Amino acid sequence: MQTVTNGIFKQPYEQLETAWARYIGTNEAVAVSSGTAGLHLALKALGVGPGDEVIVPDFGMIAAAFAVTYCGAKPIFADCRHETVDVDGGEIKRKIIDKTKAIIIEHLYGRPVYETIPIVGLGIPVIEDACEAHGAEIIGRKVGTFGKLAVFSLYRNKIIQAEEGGLVNTDDPVLANRIRELKSMAFGHAHDYYHHAIGYNYRMTNMQAEHALMELRDIKWYLKQRQAWANQLDQAFSHYTLSRPSGSVIWVYDMVMENQDQRDRVLQALTKANIPARHFFKPMSMQPMYCGADVEIGKNALRFSQRGLYLCYHRSFEQKDVDKTIKIIKENL
Ligand SMILES: Cc1ncc(COP(=O)(O)O)c(C=O)c1O
């Protein structure tokens, strides 16, 4: 799948960058090897380094905290809201100090962060971790267009996937070019073996890009299929789901149980029946490399981590699989 534009050969990863930037609605997109690599490079592009702090959600995927640590900076954890798992803007505000260089927010399980706009308004560069929210929108605008930078994952369990891979979106050509430079050993345009920075090999392969391009063509259909699956589960379990703001997409189907015993019972039954399901994240503040006397554990993050589970979606699901899932959950509530 090689095309020629104005006489210039465009590689599949470049075609993907163009198509993805257009789909999300940013000026630029950069293809990288994973979502985690994208987060790392987004922070590097903002100049995050030793001595800096970056606020990350306490309830979320550990990649955000790890990316901060890779930069030699310190992750500071902000609790999620009481009602739902997305980060609390008030908590972020409370944790901002002089050393705060960036904020990472995570659009989890397909749900846009409720307070995205006020958080961006705090005036500190925001990186949207949208690895679980391809196609989600806030007031008609796609997530990934609100922060200085945004990161999407193409890992195999994501809404669209390339087995592994990531995409970084931004409107800022300077940031995009910095990421392009860093992701490929900082070879630079001249490619004269004079390196201006310590670079990485975070390149996406053209094989991944070709696969991702195919998936992107069908993204509307994939989103529709997942929504239809969730609609059936909503009918059965509306009391157990978190509210979904309009513009949400379905990545997984999350449920919050009355207590940990109930959650564990349901999860065990699903696992025994070979139905893919997982419990929620554990707070980042409780992970062995980050916990400590001076690290506050988010109360809401902890409560959700004890009571939450999510059902994973698979494209091969048939109606009988959905029926079986509903039956097993109902029997074990
Ligand atoms: C919210 C979130 N952030 C970051 C990542 C990291 O992405 P990757 O696995 O592509 O490195 C993931 C997914 O795996 C994720 O779900």
Q: What is the pLDDT of residues 181-212, one digit of tens each?
A: 999 999 987 788 889 899 999 999 999 999 99
Average pLDDT over residues 167-188: 96
Average per-residue pLDDT for the chain? 96
Q: How confident is the model at residue 7 (pLDDT cuts 50, 70, 90)?
A: low
Our answer on whether the CB atom of 62 is closer than 6 Å to any ligand 1 atom is no
Average pLDDT over residues 263-269: 98
Our answer on whether the CB atom of 106 is closer than 6 Å to any ligand 1 atom is yes
**H-helix segments, the chain:** 12-24, 35-45, 63-70, 89-95, 116-120, 173-183, 206-217, 219-237, 260-272, 299-307, 319-332
Lookup: tokens for 42: 């987004």
> CA gyration radius for the chain?
20
Our answer on whether the CB atom of 12 is closer than 6 Å to any ligand 1 atom is no
Position 4 scores a pLDDT of 56
Our answer on whether the CB atom of 317 is closer than 6 Å to any ligand 1 atom is no
Nearest atom of ligand 1 to the alpha carbon of 39: 4
pLDDT over 80 at 5, yes or no: no
Q: Which CATH superfamily is domain 219-332 in?
A: Aspartate Aminotransferase, domain 1 (3.90.1150.10)
Say if residues 60 and 53 touch (Cβ distance below 8 Å).
no
In the reported structure, the alpha carbon of residue 61 is separated from the centroid of ligand 1 by a whole-number distance in angstroms of 7
Of the CATH numbers 2.40.50.100, 1.10.10.60, 3.20.20.70, 3.40.640.10, which one belongs to the domain with range 3-217?
Answer: 3.40.640.10
Our answer on whether the CB atom of 56 is closer than 6 Å to any ligand 1 atom is no
Our answer on whether the CB atom of 212 is closer than 6 Å to any ligand 1 atom is no
> Which amino acid residue places its CA nearest to atom 8 of ligand 1?
35
In the reported structure, the alpha carbon of residue 129 is separated from the centroid of ligand 1 by a whole-number distance in angstroms of 8
Our answer on whether the CB atom of 57 is closer than 6 Å to any ligand 1 atom is no
Position 168 scores a pLDDT of 99
Say if residues 116 and 138 touch (Cβ distance below 8 Å).
yes
Q: Which of 61, 164, 278 to mutate to test the pocket of ligand 1 (most atoms within 8 A of CB)?
A: 61
pTM: 0.96
Say if residues 309 and 279 touch (Cβ distance below 8 Å).
yes
> Which amino acid residue places its CA nearest to atom 7 of ligand 1?
35
Position 238 scores a pLDDT of 86
Q: What is the pLDDT of residues 74-86, one digit of tens each?
A: 999 999 999 999 9
> Which amino acid residue places its CA nearest to atom 15 of ligand 1?
131
Residue 296: alpha-carbon gap to chain centroid: 23
Position 300 scores a pLDDT of 98
Query: What are the structural domain ranges in the chain?
Result: 3-217, 219-332
Measure the CA–CA gap between 324 and 270, rounded to whole angstroms. 10
Residue 151: alpha-carbon gap to chain centroid: 7
